[in-house]
Chains A and B, each alone.
Chain A
């Protein structure tokens, strides 16, 4: 049986001012896997990471990292984990090498072994040439890589990455994805990664939980979650917005499920999307609603989210953004 690297049950936290960041979040992460915490902005992902990494405390609930309780023995947890926060943790007024040297010293590495470790990390993350320049002169991608190097100094068993690719350009993002995959693959590190990019969770995570409004709404591998949604996603764009009418019209078409109308967009699921589209269009046009376009897709994580959270991911991302401001 695989060992469990991270285990959290029923974590709850409400910030001063009444913002409820976590409302019963639970998760289990097997050792050596990349685990995704997927959710829109403000879903509570960062709060969960802060609690699991001993930075903050939950109001209630329990969490263990590498078998150690985060509330009772935070000191021991800290020795086993590496953390790359959402905000850059690096010291911009110091060089890359100075940053890493200090971090290594804090974990008790010194002398020749510290120097060797710092050189190795600089090399591995492509920072050797920039090692003696102040970190404030680094590009966004380089700063992120230095942040990751800081989290790796002491060869942690578990690495937490909070929104690691936010703000990076596509090229830097792909580079970082490769690096993350390598860490989990070659070094057998357990990685917990939070993201609000569906694509990122899909590509990296072997297992994920979908978080919405501070709760776990679904857990499984990306494929399992998508397979649960049997059939295709059908999306129809109407010429103009018609919420109630469209629902009533399409409800009569047999074989459809999970019908959601959101402004001009109509989502639904059908065992065979291609066969369902003509009847949907006919039904809509009979009710006097003109169709602008129609698409069929294999289920995506977006559909998984829609199914479990009852709203589209993008919508949630903008709706809950205000909460993040407070919760961050």
Chain B
């Protein structure tokens, strides 16, 4: 009970701050909307490549964009922790009997909420430009859920790195260095069977690709629910590890001050 209550209190704090600046959701949508509309138009003829079996490129691209927006939104979550540490808010919370896990999970909950809102907007927009979702509400819900789960993994990693480094510049560097390659070493933008062999190999171990595979399967024809379940399982396991990392980072922070 207490862990849940504490997590809710932390989440409420961040969600309230988010709702007080709703413009931020709009700003964070600029990038995915550009991907969706410009990438969608630029690479429209990808669908004509022999062996491309995923329908139109916009059908194919939309789940990829949803996954990419989850990664980029979640990557910056740690900035909030750095701010809290610099201002003294974190130290105040750390001397209360707060359950340590709540600090990360509450912040992750806010990040997942904003990913869900952004995903729904992007999916709505994709429908307007002609994308199809073949498995109805269940498929869309599975896509959004997988994106949220991936976001939770990256938000936890971002929080952990933030607590360990406490430097904005370092966090920006690490987030850029990690998220860009992971995005391109996945099937977010191109069908897996058409990727170069070495990228196909690398993608097997890439959580961004797990989410892209599962999300795309949920949106496409003949959804493979077994695959969706297994990728969801991988992501959930990774979430446990990354959340433990973020929570343990506080121990290291406290020893250093």
A-to-B contact residues, CB < 8 Å: 15-16, 50, 53-57, 75, 78-79, 81, 83, 85-94, 98, 102-103, 105-108, 147, 150
Q: Which residues of A contact B9 (CB under 8 A)?
A: 102, 105-106
CB-based contact A106/B88 at 8 Å: no
Q: Which residues of B contact A89 (CB under 8 A)?
A: 88-89, 91-93
CB-based contact A85/B20 at 8 Å: no
A195–B217 alpha-carbon span in the complex (Å) = 63
CB-based contact B88/A102 at 8 Å: no
Q: Which residues of A contact B17 (CB under 8 A)?
A: 93-94
Q: Interface of chain B, helix or strand or loop or mixed?
A: helix
- Whether a CB of chain A sits under 8 angstroms from the CB of B23 is no
Which of A90, A91, A92, A107 is in CB contact (< 8 Å) with B96?
A: A107
Q: Which residues of B contact A78 (CB under 8 A)?
A: 95-97
Q: Identify the closest chain B residue to A47 (Cβ).
A: B257
Having A54-B95, A106-B96, one finds 6 other A-B pairs with CB under 8 Å, namely: A53-B95, A79-B97, A83-B95, A89-B88, A91-B13, A106-B98
Which of A79, A88, A102, A150 is in CB contact (< 8 Å) with B87?
A: A88
CB-based contact B16/A106 at 8 Å: no
Which of B2, B5, B87, B257 is in CB contact (< 8 Å) with A50?
A: B257
CB-based contact B96/A103 at 8 Å: yes
Q: Interface of chain A, helix or strand or loop or mixed?
A: loop
CB-based contact B16/A98 at 8 Å: yes
- Whether a CB of chain A sits under 8 angstroms from the CB of B256 is yes
Closest 10 pairs (CB-CB, A-B): A89-B92, A87-B88, A93-B17, A83-B95, A106-B96, A78-B97, A89-B88, A53-B95, A105-B9, A106-B98
Q: How far is the CB of A304 from chain B (nearest CB, A)?
A: 30
A99–B39 alpha-carbon span in the complex (Å) = 44
CB-based contact B255/A56 at 8 Å: yes
Residue among A91, A108, A147 with most chain B CB within 10 A: A91
Q: Which residues of B contact A94 (CB under 8 A)?
A: 13, 16-17
CB-based contact A83/B254 at 8 Å: no
A90–B87 alpha-carbon span in the complex (Å) = 8
A57–B95 alpha-carbon span in the complex (Å) = 13
What are 19 A-B contacts defined by CB distance under 8 Å?
A: A15-B256, A50-B257, A56-B255, A85-B88, A85-B91, A86-B88, A88-B87, A88-B88, A89-B88, A90-B92, A92-B87, A93-B16, A102-B9, A102-B12, A103-B96, A105-B5, A106-B97, A106-B98, A147-B92
A86–B100 alpha-carbon span in the complex (Å) = 22
Q: Which residues of A contact B2 (CB under 8 A)?
A: 108
Q: Identify the closest chain B residue to A95 (Cβ).
A: B16
CB-based contact A87/B87 at 8 Å: yes
- Whether a CB of chain A sits under 8 angstroms from the CB of B229 is no
